[in-house]
Chains A and B, each alone.
Chain A
Amino acid sequence: EAGVVQSPRYKIIEKKQPVAFWCNPISGHNTLYWYLQNLGQGPELLIRYENEEAVDDSQLPKDRFSAERLKGVDSTLKIQPAELGDSAVYLCASSPGTSVHGELFFGEGSRLTVL
């Protein structure tokens, strides 16, 4: 069974440039998460989707971040414009159910460096 697939794995951009990350969850997983992981820290939730609906985006900086999951399968996270402080690893995760009583399956992550 294929795991959560993310691309690109690495991205280096100049500040003020846009960037987009793509995630394809495990087949059949209805819930998709985007997490931000700063160096030396645990993952922090940015947004959670149940199918195509964003049910928790309270931690997403909406002035520059946007996300979509149009058909309830794969998802894109965009930053425009990027700032120096956005340098981090962006992790996508999925789970088959909607409860916090289940395992999260993480992708390899997209490491962003903003110069």
Chain B
Amino acid sequence: GQQVMQIPQYQHVQEGEDFTTYCNSSTTLSNIQWYKQRPGGHPVFLIQLVKSGEVKKQKRLTFQFGEAKKNSSLHITATQTTDVGTYFCAGPWSGGYNKLIFGAGTRLAVHP
């Protein structure tokens, strides 16, 4: 069945270092969404990418959608302690039903 995989599972960085998480789908996606979940919190929408090769920036966050629309990445420049949390990517299920399939997430820890 369709899979959305994220690497790494965990990343520990020193404050000020950069961070990147990768998302790979077994099928071509019409779009990809990214969510952030703070410890003890709920997922919060960050962004949606739709076009092949699309790059979007939100302050220190840069999101990319691959040319083949099967992979995506989130890069954080100069991490801060407020970046702590788990980052999930999600893509539409190829079987229809307007269903989103979430990856397992990348947990980011930032040490001051």
Q: Which A residues are within 8 Å of any B CB, using their own CB?
A: 40-45, 48, 55-56, 58, 91, 98-109
Contact = CB atoms under 8 A, between A and B. Distances in A.
20 contacts: A42-B88, A42-B103, A43-B43, A45-B99, A48-B99, A55-B97, A56-B99, A58-B97, A91-B42, A99-B98, A100-B30, A100-B92, A100-B98, A100-B99, A101-B50, A103-B45, A103-B48, A104-B43, A105-B45, A106-B44
A42 B102 contact: yes
B97 to A, nearest CB: 4
Given A42-B88, A91-B42, 9 more contacts: A40-B107, A41-B104, A42-B102, A42-B103, A45-B99, A56-B98, A101-B48, A101-B50, A108-B41
Interface residues of B, number: 25
Contacts of A106: 42-44
Nearest to B31: A101
Contacts, number: 60
Contacts of A99: 98
Interface string B26-42: 00001101010000011
Contacts of B99: 45, 48, 56, 100
A100 B41 contact: no
A2 B97 CA distance: 28
Nearest to B107: A40
B90 interface: yes
B105 A42 contact: yes
Interface string B1-39: 000100000000000000000000000001101010000
Contacts of A109: 42
